[in-house]
């Protein structure tokens, strides 16, 4: 292959890549539009996070069901990632309590299927994680996080960062599962805080409890007398 052919191939590859990126922008825009359109119609809701691997006989699955029921009793709907485990448990609790049950599902290689407890008109499927996260951040009146894996930890620290930096307005962040979260919170206080990587007030951005009633009350009390708005 001579230099001319190589240059032609290089140009063709660049054009192909550019066209693919342009079409990707349209897909991203379409997901945002559909997401905003659907999420803007739901009632004020609390987002639940936690492991997709939790089984129905797991104590945290059962605790998530009860916590979701308490959230509904306090006048809120429930939003989850739409999948199994803790997400399913929270949607189940909302459904059984007669509340709004939203699922913001993600398309994965192993095909995460939405759970059966999501209201049929409140199910969204996203291709991109970052768009899905925007839906959580924008429409959450509170976060309740149960034990989980990388995704749960990622959501916890990302929302703390957004609140800390003022990129989203503050809202309650509640952790459930003392035995799971204690070592991580000790790291935050003993390493991050002691080294002055965070400010003393930053450790007040979240609350730890194992009580479903208290978790729901923390969120309800925070919003008492305030007008519900999106976070940005």
Reading the block at residue 123, the tokens are: 């199910």
Query: Are 51 and 180 a contacting pair, CB within 8 Å?
Result: no
Domain membership flag for residue 228: no
Domain membership flag for residue 229: no
Domain membership flag for residue 27: yes
Domain count, the chain: 2
Q: Which domain holds residue 7?
A: 1-41
CB count in 10 Å sphere of residue 49? 26
* Co-location of 130 and 201 in the same domain: yes
> Given this model, what pLDDT does residue 20 score?
87
Rounded to 10°, the helix 3-39/129-139 angle is 30
Task: Supply the DSSP symbol for 219.
Answer: H
Reading the block at residue 211, the tokens are: 């009580």
Mean pLDDT of the chain: 93
* Co-location of 37 and 116 in the same domain: no
Domain membership flag for residue 56: yes
pLDDT digits (tens, 9 = 90+) for 163-200: 999 999 999 999 999 999 999 999 999 999 999 999 99
Residue 103, pLDDT above cutoff 80:
yes
Residue 113, pLDDT above cutoff 90:
no
**How does residue 9 score in pLDDT terms, banded at 50, 70 and 90?**
low
Distances (CA, A) of 76 to 44, 94, 144: 6, 9, 13
* Co-location of 107 and 203 in the same domain: yes
- CA Rg, the chain, in Å? 20
Chain-centre distance of CA 139, in angstroms? 10
* Co-location of 180 and 204 in the same domain: yes
CB count in 10 Å sphere of residue 100? 18
Domain membership flag for residue 231: no
């Amino acid at each position: 292959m001579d230099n001319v052919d190589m240059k032609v191939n290089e140009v063709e590859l660049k054009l192909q890549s550019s066209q693919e990126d342009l079409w990707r922008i349209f897909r991203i825009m379409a997901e945002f539009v559909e997401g905003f359109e659907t999420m803007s119609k739901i009632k004020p809701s609390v987002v639940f996070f936690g492991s997709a691997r939790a089984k129905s006989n797991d104590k945290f699955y059962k605790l998530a069901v009860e916590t979701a029921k308490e959230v509904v009793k306090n006048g809120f709907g429930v939003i989850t990632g739409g999948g199994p485990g803790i997400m399913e448990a929270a949607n189940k609790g909302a459904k059984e309590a007669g509340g709004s049950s939203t699922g913001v599902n993600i398309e994965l290689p192993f095909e995460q299927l939405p759970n059966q407890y999501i209201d049929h008109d409140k199910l969204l499927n996203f291709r991109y994680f970052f768009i899905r996260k925007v839906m959580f951040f924008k429409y959450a009146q509170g976060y309740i996080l149960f034990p989980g894996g990388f995704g749960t930890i990622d959501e916890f620290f990302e929302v703390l960062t957004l609140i800390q930096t003022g990129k989203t307005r503050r809202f309650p962040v509640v952790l459930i599962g003392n035995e799971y979260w204690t070592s991580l919170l000790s790291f935050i206080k003993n390493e991050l805080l002691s080294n002055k990587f965070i400010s003393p007030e930053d450790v007040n951005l979240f609350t730890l409890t194992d009580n479903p009633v208290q978790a729901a009350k923390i969120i309800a009390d925070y919003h008492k007398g305030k007008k519900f708005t999106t976070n940005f």
